[in-house]
Each structure stands twice: as C-alpha cells, then as structure tokens.
Structure 1
Amino acid sequence: MRRVLKADALLCLAAAVLHLGFAARLDSLLGLPAPLLVGPGVFLLAYVALLAAMATSRAVWSWLFPLIVGGNVGWGLCCIGLSAAGGVTALGHAYLWLNALAVFVFAALQWRGWRATPAGGSAWRAA
C-alpha cells in the first residue's frame, strides 16, 4: 500500500509541476485554460504532502482512505467531463483520458489496500 501511495504522490507531483510551471504553454497545447491548470496544480501540492505523510506514517490512516478513493474517482470523472465538454485539442483529450485512467487505477488499488488493512488502522499490513 505504501508503494501505491508513493506512486500516486509522484505522479501528482509531476502533474503539479506541469500545471504550475507550464500552464501558459499547456493552455495552447491542450486547449485547457491556464487558470484551470493552476488551481488543480496548487491543490495537487497539498495532496502530494498528504499522500507522502500517509505513506511514511507508522499507522494506517484508515478513516482517510474512503476520501482519497472518492477524490480520485471524482478527479477522473471531472477529467472525462472536461473532455466531453469540448474545446480541448486532441492532445488535451488524450491528457484528460490518461489522467482519468491513472486516477481510476489508483482509486482501485487504494480501495483494495484499504480493505486489506486492519479495521483499527493501528499498523500497516502488507496489501
């Protein structure tokens, strides 16, 4: 489970760097307005910190996993919605759909890992 959290954090960090460092360039490449990239980029930095804290904690934060899973599913649905709304380039569609696929995979892995943890969340168990 720690590996899944770390992988999620690394991918989110990469997305945050892209969104915050290259928003203007991505605007033209993806057809997504820069403010629509910067806002999630800032959020992703906080999310990365949370995932890193969870991945390095001695205890399972089991009460937080449903929120993490739900957030990933919501993020994926938002990406699909943005793609369906139109106005994005072909590369933008690909970016949004790959993003959705990635967060759906993380949601599934995190859900599976959460279900395998002890109910009290007092210790990590191999998942």
Structure 2
Amino acid sequence: MTTNQATGTTTGPAAGTAAAAGPLRLFLALDAAVTGANGLIYLLAAGPVGRLLDVDSAFLRATGAFLAVYGVLVAVLAARPVPSAAATKAVIEVNVLWAVAGVAALVLGWLEPSTAGLVWIPLQALVVAAFAALQLGALRKAHG
C-alpha cells in the first residue's frame, strides 16, 4: 500500500496495473461477447426472433446493429492492458441505461411482447445490470 504525499490518496500495490485490471478486462470481454452475439442474432435473424418475441423486426435489426457495433467497441476496450477508467465508466452507464430501458419498455407499454418476450427482456436486463455491477467492482479495484 502506498500513499501519495501530494494528494493524500492511498492505492494498493497493483492499482492501475495490468494484473489488477485482469478481472475488469474479463468482465468487459464477456460483456462484449454476449452483446456482440445478441446483436448479430437480432441483426441476422430479426424475422424469426421478432416473431418469437412479438417485437418488430425492423426494431430488432436496428437494435442488433447497435449491439454489434457496441460489442466491438467494448471488445477493443477489454483488449487494452489497463482499460481506461473513463471509457469503462461509459460502458457501465450504457449498461445501466440499457437495463433500465428494457424494464421501462415493458412497464410503460413501449413494447407488448409475447410471453417469450416477457421472459427474455427482463432476463436480458438482469444480465446487463449484472455486467455493470461486476464491471464497477472491478473498475474500483483496477483503478484504486
């Protein structure tokens, strides 16, 4: 443990190092893989998935395109030896927003999905919220 005399901040010996960033990189990489796969499924199979969930296929294609690009961006961040704290915070914020929007879409009636959709959408929101929580904890450990 070291203390910076100028700022008075205390950091662990591994704060800001690649070793400390290992869990953060893992959670970002898992998020990127799940998000990218989900995006590709929505993008390439919007018709069948739309019928299953009773969600408009054009909406799913647009969502899939966003998720595929977002997944690539998160993967690029995860590949860094020590992911930027600011970029990681942005990922966490987008994940929280995504989770809240998914639940709000159901509660506020923005979407009226099938029973499968009523299960899938909150499940997806829960997974995304879990990624945000894991990433936040790992960010704190990686960046002190």
In 2, the alpha carbon distance for the partners of 1:49 and 1:67 equals 15
Q: How many residues align?
A: 119
SS at match of 2:83: coil
Aligned-pair distance for 1:58?
2.1
Aligned-pair distance for 1:93?
0.9
In 1, the alpha carbon distance for the partners of 2:82 and 2:25 equals 11
Letter in 1 for 2:103: I
What is aligned with 1:123? none
1:88 correspondence with 2:113: yes
What is aligned with 1:122? none
Structure 1: gaps (5+ residues): 120-127
Aligned-pair distance for 1:35?
1.7
> TM-score, length-normalised on structure 1?
0.87
SS at match of 2:142: coil
CA contact (8 A) 1:72 1:106 kept: yes
In 2, the alpha carbon distance for the partners of 1:73 and 1:118 equals 20
What is aligned with 1:28? 51
Larger Rg: 2
In 2, the alpha carbon distance for the partners of 1:95 and 1:54 equals 27
What is aligned with 1:56? 79
Structure 2: gaps (5+ residues): 1-23
In 2, the alpha carbon distance for the partners of 1:111 and 1:69 equals 7
In 2, the alpha carbon distance for the partners of 1:59 and 1:108 equals 18
What is aligned with 1:17? 40
Letter in 2 for 1:10: A
Which of 89, 96, 103 does residue 128 from structure 2 map onto?
103
1:113 correspondence with 2:129: no
Letter in 2 for 1:116: K
Give aligned-pair identity as a percent.
26
> TM-score, length-normalised on structure 2?
0.77
Aligned CA-pair RMSD: 1.3
